[in-house]
Structure formats: structure tokens, C-alpha cells
Amino acid sequence: MSLGAGGERKRYEAILRNIAMLLHQAGIKFGYLYEEELYTGALFYDEGVDEVFMAHAHFVYERLKTHGVKTAITVDPHTTNMLRSVYPEIIEDYSLEVKTYIEALAEAGYVGNAEVQEVVVHDSCIYARSENVLEQPRSLLEAAGMSIKEPELSGKLTHCCGGPLESLFPDRASRDRSQAR
């Protein structure tokens, strides 16, 4: 697949289609806001741009409420963390239930069909350390018939990939990763 913007976009769209297909197969009803699906502001928050972040978070939450969203099923760790752990701290009367697609699939008892027999799990540092999403990925993999191998540093001790920091400060992210070892 191309590394250019068009190739990456197609790859990301394919990932979203696959997640939607899994949710559908599990019998989970969901919707999508298309162009009104908004970025949660994780970079603003991480970089300490507090005024911008606060205004943006309130705007995003109001858009979700305007559309009648009661439960958000997220597809990435940063969105999960913002909507589930950060927004409730800054928005009065916050009432959005937030779960990852992984949690939604595990709750629904989804059983996939493994094409491989053995996998190594790399936990997302945000899922593991901040959101306690540890057992659900493993239970889904095991239910699909896969044998799981754990790296030496897994679970809450997992390495961080650098996430948003990598895109803004690649040298710092690389340094932070090497210090975590």
C-alpha cells in the first residue's frame, strides 16, 4: 500500500470499515456522524493549550448531544481517553457513556474466526494505563482460537508508541521511548 496521503487514507478507511463490519456481525447497532464526527482535541490537551482545549471539548460534547448520542463507541485510545476520562473532569453534568469497539465486541460475546494461531499482544499504553482495557482484547483473541504470547513488558508496563507526541516532536518521542526501557 502506498505511503502517500491517498494510500494512508485508504488504509485508515479500510480499518474503519473492518471495525464497522465486526460491530455489525456482533449485532451492535451504531451510527456515524460523517463530516460532523469531530476530533476530540487530544493534542491540545497534551500540549497544554488549555483555553483552546476547553472550548473545543465543550463544542464537541454539544455536537454529540445535539445528535442525541448517549453512547460513543471509540476506535482509538486517545479518543477513548478524552471522552471517557478527561471530558467528564471539565464538563459539568457530562453524561456520555464511552466504550472502545474492543469493549463493545467483548460485551456482545463476539467470536471471530482466526486466520493465525498465535499472536503477540502489544497493549496500547493509554488503554492499559489510563482506561484499563486489558482483558477484552485478550478474551476476543482467545475466543477466536488464537494463542496469546505476552511480551516482557505488557499490560500496564507496556511501552508507549509515542502517539501524538511523535507527530509533533519525533526526537522527543524517540527519547521518551528509550528512557522507558
Burial (CB < 10 A; 0-12, 13-18, 19+), residue 36, is exposed
Closest CA relative to residue 123, chosen from 108, 133, 109: 133
Whether pLDDT at 169 is above 80: no
Whether pLDDT at 181 is above 60: no
DSSP label at residue 48: T
Mean pLDDT, rounded, for 140-159 = 89
Q: Are 130 and 85 in contact (CB under 8 A)?
A: yes
Average pLDDT of the residues of the chain: 88
Mean pLDDT, rounded, for 64-79 = 96
Q: Specify which residues 106 forms β-bridges with.
A: none
Residue written as cell 459539568? 92
Closest CA relative to residue 110, chosen from 137, 83, 76: 137
- Amino acid 170: pLDDT: 67
Percent of the chain predicted with pLDDT > 70: 86
DSSP for 51-87, please give it: HHHHHHHHHHHHHHHHTT--EEEESSHHHHHIIIIIH
Secondary structure (H, E, C), 74-141? ECCHHHHHHHHHHHHHHCCCCCCEEEEHHHHHHHCCCCCCCCCCEEECCCCHHHHHHCCCCHHHHHHH
Mean pLDDT, rounded, for 90-116 = 95
Whether pLDDT at 168 is above 70: no
DSSP label at residue 145: T
Burial (CB < 10 A; 0-12, 13-18, 19+), residue 35, is exposed
- Amino acid 1: pLDDT: 40
Whether pLDDT at 75 is above 50: yes
For the chain, the structural domain boundaries read: 5-180
